[in-house]
């Protein structure tokens, strides 16, 4: 009953009061103040709760669904591999608490295309959560602008900003800490300007102010005795001792510096490194009670072998395929659920012509967007719902050639060409590489857009690779058409000459 009451309370409480967020550098703070009703109940009863449960260090496994949000046109999704990396780092940050996050089997990722959610105010953010929230898992939304914050925790979900989610961030852990009931160590000071050269008052915004002597730690501040007093409500840098540069003075007149190592504080990400034992105990108690529906498994699932790589089956070894109907096949990797498939030019598969995330399948069919007459490379990287840390250290690259295999133009299906550089600077020769399946004679012409002929020569192609140099000294900047033709047919390639 208490749980239901709390949820209703959450939805009815004002946005400014419940929204919680962590700011990074230029981002403004959120308006969170106080403690959640569940947390207040917990602090009054934690001794009894600890007595009832005893010492408990079993691992708690929390399922997650990632809601990756783009604009209306489908642009701007936080990349899946970045999301996996963020979850992987969060697992490291929660490992002392024996809490591990994994993607909800069968429902790991939802892609949402909505510009009003991609960059939102609290009204649109609330609508986004209400319309997409799923029971029985931690719902993490990743957007471009979460109401001007780095992230926030609200309506039993957390919302993260892409720009505050790089490698090494602590924002995901901070917001998840809020989700699992933790207040800021400086609770009560949120939004309060204070002259820190003055002794702090006994009370701030209705919360007793925590003293350095520990006399009121059990109920003042965040109510944890293993988090020290902290009154700093704006983002702050730490010194080499991981303390605040700002001195503060407690109500008894004792000066102190804040502990910068706490994920729940507002020190910069690079200062933060831990939850305290009491914070961890509160989060675990929250999981056992308010979020008990998360605890669906008690044993770890299957990891992906650290050295596992996806074995490509076809097309490989420069096999020729029809350019707008290509089926890529690979071998399943044990423990993997999704695969990111990419096709592009070498090196680095750039430019990339195709990227797709495939779920629980080991093949993909491509029917457009791939250029004809090219040598292309492809790769597949494996990811797991359980093993969010797999880094794909060894990735196999497959090579194939594209042709128009349905063409009645025999020349087009007999040769493969590469033209580089293209565009070419005027005066610099371009190189046309023609790979031919047979020996034959062709006539090559180069014309401009108006049909004026600049070159006309006969070329003998040998079986295999033929390299033809194209001088550009007599060509003005513009577009040119290179045409190869003989009795088999006709083949055209466009050349761009720049100044
Ligand atoms: Zn916060």
Cα 181 to averaged position of ligand 1 atoms, centre (Å): 11
Q: Which residues contact 377 (CB under 8 A, 6 or more apart)?
A: 343, 344, 345, 346, 349, 397, 398, 399
Rounded (to 5) percent helix, strand, coil in the chain: 20, 35, 45
Task: State the average pLDDT over residues 12-29.
Answer: 38
Residues 115, 39 share a domain? yes
> What phi, psi does 489 have (nearest 5°)?
155, -150
Is position 319 within any domain?
Answer: yes
Residue the block writes with tokens 């995901």: 172
CATH number of the domain encompassing residue 388: 2.60.40.10
Q: How many distinct structural domains can be found in the chain? A: 3
Q: For residue 466, is pLDDT > 60?
A: yes
pLDDT tens, 108-126? 999 999 999 999 999 999 9
Quote the ligand 1 centre to 179 CA distance (angstroms).
Answer: 10
Are 491 and 387 found together in one domain? no
pLDDT confidence bin for 486, thresholds 50/70/90: confident
Q: Where are the beta strands (DSSP E) in 39-186?
A: 60-70, 99-103, 109-113, 119-120, 138-143, 145-146, 151-154, 157-161
Q: Residue 190: inside a domain, yes or no?
A: no
Burial 458-477 (b: 16+ CB within 10 A, else e): eeebeeeebebebebeebee
Same domain for 172 and 317?
A: no
- Domain-ending residue, one of 403, 430, 460: 403
Q: What is the CATH number of the domain that holds 90?
A: 3.40.390
Looking at the structure, do residues 417 and 456 belong to the same domain, yes or no? yes
Q: Provide the terminal-to-terminal Cα distance of the chain, rounded to the nearest Å.
A: 75
* Half-sphere exposure for 302 (CA within 13 Å, toward CB): 9
Mean pLDDT for the stretch of residues 331-358: 91
Please indicate, yes or no, whether residues 154 and 282 belong to a single structural domain of this protein.
yes
pLDDT tops 80 at residue 279: yes
Condensed to tens digits (0 to 9), the pLDDT of residues 75-112 reads 999 999 899 999 999 999 999 999 999 999 999 999 99
Asked if 63 and 122 sit in the same domain, the reply is yes
- Cα-to-centroid distance, 306 and ligand 1 (Å): 35
Domain membership of residue 152 (yes or no) is yes
Bridge partner residues of 359 (DSSP): 338
Q: Does the residue 189 lie in any domain?
A: no
Q: Are residues 287 and 343 in the same domain?
A: no
What does DSSP assign to residue 302?
Answer: P
| Domain containing residue 429 | 410-498
Listed residue (411, 453, 406, 407) closest to 434, CA to CA:
411
Q: What's the CATH code of the domain at 471?
A: 2.60.40.1930
What 3 state SS string does 190-206 have? CCCCCCCCCECCCEECC
Q: How far is the CA of 65 from the centre of ligand 1 (A)?
A: 21
Let me know if residue 234 belongs to a domain. Answer: no
| Ligand 1 centre distance from Cα of residue 382 (Å) | 34
Q: Are residues 375 and 442 in the same domain?
A: no
**Are 12 and 118 contained in the same domain?**
yes
- Which helix (H) or strand (E) segment is 342 a member of? strand 338-344
- The residue among 352, 369, 403 that closes a domain is 403
Instruction: Give pLDDT, residue 187.
Output: 94
Average pLDDT over residues 457-474: 88
Instruction: Decide if 193 is inside a domain.
Output: no
In a domain, 239, yes or no: no
More confident position, 142 or 428: 142
Mean pLDDT of 466-486: 87
Q: Assign 321 to helix, strand or coil.
A: strand
Identify the band that residue 7 occupies on the pLDDT scale cut at 50, 70 and 90: very low
State the distance from the centre of ligand 1 to the C-alpha of 274, rounded, in angstroms.
15
> Do both 374 and 460 map to the same domain?
no
Residues 24 and 167 in one domain: yes
Measured in angstroms, how far is the CA atom of residue 324 from the centroid of ligand 1?
50
Centre of ligand 1 from the C-alpha of residue 257, in Å: 20
Place of tokens 């007793």: 208
CA of 265 to the centre of ligand 1 (A): 7
Q: Give 11 Cα–ligand 1 centroid separation in angstroms.
A: 19
Choose the final residue of a domain: 267, 294, 321: 294
Residues 448 and 386 placed together within one structural domain of the fold: no
């Amino acid at each position: 009953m208490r749980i239901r009451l709390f949820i209703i309370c959450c939805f009815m409480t004002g946005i400014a009061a419940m929204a919680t967020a962590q700011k990074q550098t230029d981002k403004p703070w959120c308006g969170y103040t106080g403690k959640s009703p569940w947390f207040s109940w917990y602090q009054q009863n934690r001794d009894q709760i600890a007595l009832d449960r005893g010492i408990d260090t079993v691992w708690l496994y929390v399922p997650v669904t990632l809601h990756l949000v783009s604009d209306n046109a489908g642009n701007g999704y936080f990349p899946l591999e970045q999301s996996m990396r963020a979850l992987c780092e969060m697992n490291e940050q929660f490992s002392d608490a024996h809490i591990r996050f994994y993607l909800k089997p069968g429902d790991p990722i939802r892609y949402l295309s909505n510009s009003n959610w991609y960059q939102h105010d609290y009204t649109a953010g609330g609508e986004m959560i209400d319309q997409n929230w799923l029971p029985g898992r931690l719902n993490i939304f990743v957007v471009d602008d979460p109401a001007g914050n780095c992230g926030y925790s609200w309506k039993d979900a957390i919302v993260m900003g892409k720009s505050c989610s790089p490698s090494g961030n602590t924002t995901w852990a901070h917001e998840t800490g809020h989700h699992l009931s933790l207040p800021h160590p400086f609770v009560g000071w949120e939004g309060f300007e204070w002259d820190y050269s003055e002794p702090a008052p006994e009370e701030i915004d209705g919360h007793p102010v925590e003293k350095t002597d520990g006399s009121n730690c059990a109920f003042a501040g965040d109510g944890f005795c293993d988090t020290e007093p902290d009154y700093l409500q704006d983002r702050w840098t730490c010194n080499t001792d991981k303390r605040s540069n700002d001195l503060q003075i407690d109500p008894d007149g004792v000066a102190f510096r804040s502990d910068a190592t706490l994920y729940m504080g507002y020190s910069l990400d690079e200062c933060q490194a831990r939850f305290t034992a009491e914070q961890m105990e509160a989060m675990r108690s929250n999981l056992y009670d308010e979020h008990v529906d998360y605890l669906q498994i008690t044993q770890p699932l299957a990891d992906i072998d650290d050295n596992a790589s996806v074995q490509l089956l076809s097309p490989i070894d420069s096999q020729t395929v029809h350019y707008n109907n290509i089926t890529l096949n690979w071998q399943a990797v044990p423990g993997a659920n999704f695969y990111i498939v990419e096709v592009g030019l070498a090196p680095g598969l750039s430019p990339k012509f195709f990227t797709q995330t495939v779920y629980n399948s080991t093949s993909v069919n491509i029917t457009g967007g791939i250029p004809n007459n090219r040598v292309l490379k492809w790769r597949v990287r494996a990811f797991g719902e359980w093993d969010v840390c797999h880094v794909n250290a060894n990735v196999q690259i497959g090579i194939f050639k594209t042709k128009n295999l349905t063409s009645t133009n025999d020349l087009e299906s007999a040769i493969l060409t590469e033209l580089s550089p293209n565009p070419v600077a005027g005066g610099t020769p371009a190189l046309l590489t023609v790979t031919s399946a047979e020996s034959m004679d062709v006539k090559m012409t180069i014309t401009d857009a108006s049909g004026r002929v600049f070159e006309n020569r006969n070329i003998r192609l040998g079986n295999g690779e033929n390299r033809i140099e194209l001088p550009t000294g007599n060509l003005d900047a513009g577009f040119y058409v290179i045409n190869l033709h003989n009795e088999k047919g006709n083949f055209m390639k466009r050349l761009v000459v720049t100044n």
